[in-house]
Structure 1
Amino acid sequence: MIKILMVEDDLAFGTLIQTWLKKKGFDVVRATSVKAALQLLNEDSKKDLILSDLRLPDHDGLTLLN
């Protein structure tokens, strides 16, 4: 199963995308900030894909690429 980390601060849009991806068979965890995403990655770094918003409350999504 493909593991996806989705980083999206818009709760309604994030829920919509997460639900759709789960229906398609993906394992999706979601964070609403870069800080929360980094915590999730520290707990389990085995993610196949990161989908990230560029404008987030604490940093931009490009910060995750580091």
Structure 2
Amino acid sequence: MPLKTTPMTVEVPDDAIELLAEMADEQASTMTATLARSIRITLFIERARKRGATVILQEVDGTRRQVVFT
């Protein structure tokens, strides 16, 4: 069953639109789906951060670093 959608008009800086288009292309997805995914990921990270969690990025070579969201 398709998700319910609501049309929405927003003003977004041109550079953010360029990044969104690049992300959509890399994900072989639409800009709408990519934006929705970004919102869900951001909410997940923000909720975890509020609980005191940290995000650790591990590179292919095993190097780890903490990612700080502001």
TM-score bracket, normalised by the shorter chain, equals: 0.3 to 0.5
TM value normalised by structure 1: 0.33
Task: Work out which of the two has the higher radius of gyration on C-alpha atoms and give 1 or 2.
Answer: 2
